[in-house]
Homo-oligomer: A and B are copies of this chain.
Amino acid sequence: MSTSTETNPAPRTGAGSEFDRDTAVTLREPGVYDAELSAGWTIIHAVNGGYLLALLGRALGDHLPHPDPFTISAHYLTPSAPGPAVIRTETVRTGRTLSTGTASLYQYAEDGTEVERIRVLASYGDLDALTDDVRTSAVPPAFAPVDQCFSASDGPAPPIPGSSAITDRLDLRLDPACVGWAIGAPSGKGEMRAWFGLADGREPDPLSLLLAVDALPPTSFELGLKGWTPTVELTAHVRCRPAPGPLRVSITTRNLAGGFLEEDAEVWDSAGRLVAQSRQLARAPRD
């Protein structure tokens, strides 16, 4: 996790960070935000779903009285494209410790009409107000050390076939146990694990966790399937403000059946805390 931070000064957050710049939203009127979907977070032609979730999460965090997404569900309706977008938010309920709201991201058809891309329903709270009480037996799965993992520039096969822009913005190091697919020898297990960072050194926060849960190659690659796995729905729980340093992301699939699969992600911070959990339902590749 060092090369890119040596060549780029490490912005913590703010305008100096690619992620913060590309998830910025501008208040147009109460509850309505203008945004620009960056071409920098695309895989082939598709805008990454985790990036979009972070963008919607930022708008909702601005609109609601609580700052942090505790649980956020997104239903992906139509494919997003780089370019202008508008986000419309609505407060559903404001409580003392949690508030609930919806957000919709729209883009514009050729005739100027708005086409809805994503609908989100979320409950926000304040992570800093949580108690320190941890009664969990959860331990991270075994990750190979970073220096034994594979980045986008290693090996003959690109880690994400056909991908381009997003790999430049992520510092993703895939566990060697989960890269068989890249050399035509998938493990047959529905597992994907990687060390995760932002290439410009921007430290993790609740919004970048929303990106992290949907930024790895799909587990279906290791199940021997190629092709695209478009997300139908993704729900993420942010459980703790992540400590600075690299994240570990573990994704598993238990059930690939009937043309659909689930992907369960766990995100661990450098302090060994389980900071986020997510599950998505996606369409399986046709094969």
Known contacts A119-B121, A232-B70, A232-B98; decide if A257 and B281 are in contact (CB<8 Å): no
Within 8 A of B (CB), among A122-159: 122-123, 127, 130-138
Give the contact stretch, choosing among A39-47, A59-67, A235-243.
A235-243
Complex CA–CA separation, A129 to B93 (angstroms)? 37
Cβ distance A122 to chain B, nearest Cβ, rounded Å: 8
Q: Are A277 and B258 in contact, CB atoms less than 8 angstroms apart?
A: no
Task: Verify if A254 is at the interface (C-beta below 8 Å from B).
Answer: yes
**Contact (Cβ within 8 A) A93 B121:** no
Q: Total interface residues on A, using CB and 8 Å?
A: 51
Copies of this chain, tallied across the complex: 2
Given A75-B121, A116-B92, A274 and B259 contact (CB-CB distance below 8 Å)? no
Query: Which residues from B are CB-within-8-Å of A102?
Result: 102, 119, 121
Given A135-B257, A137-B190, A239-B255, CB of A93 within 8 Å of CB of B77: yes
Q: A75-B92, A121-B75 known; A257 and B277 CB under 8 Å?
A: no
Closest CB in chain B relative to A209 CB, distance in Å:
14
A93 — which chain B residues lie within 8 A by C-beta? 77-78, 116
A71 at the interface (CB under 8 A from B): yes
- Which of A95, A120, A262, A266 has the most chain B CB atoms inside 10 A of its CB? A262
B232 contacts A235, C-beta separation under 8 Å: no
Interchain CA distance A257-B238 in the complex, whole Å: 11
CB distance from A154 to the nearest CB of B (A): 28
Which residues on A are within 8 Å of B, measured CB to CB?
70-71, 73, 75, 77-78, 92-93, 95, 98, 100, 102, 116, 119-123, 127, 130-138, 189-190, 223, 232-233, 235, 237, 239-240, 254-260, 262, 266, 273-274, 277, 279, 281
Task: Show 24 A/B contacts (Cβ-Cβ < 8 Å), sorted by A.
Answer: A71-B233, A73-B73, A73-B121, A77-B100, A98-B232, A100-B119, A119-B121, A120-B121, A121-B121, A127-B258, A130-B260, A133-B258, A133-B259, A134-B257, A134-B258, A135-B223, A135-B256, A136-B254, A138-B254, A235-B235, A237-B279, A239-B255, A239-B260, A255-B277
Pick the 7 closest A-B CB pairs, nearest first: A130-B258, A73-B73, A138-B254, A71-B233, A134-B257, A121-B121, A135-B256
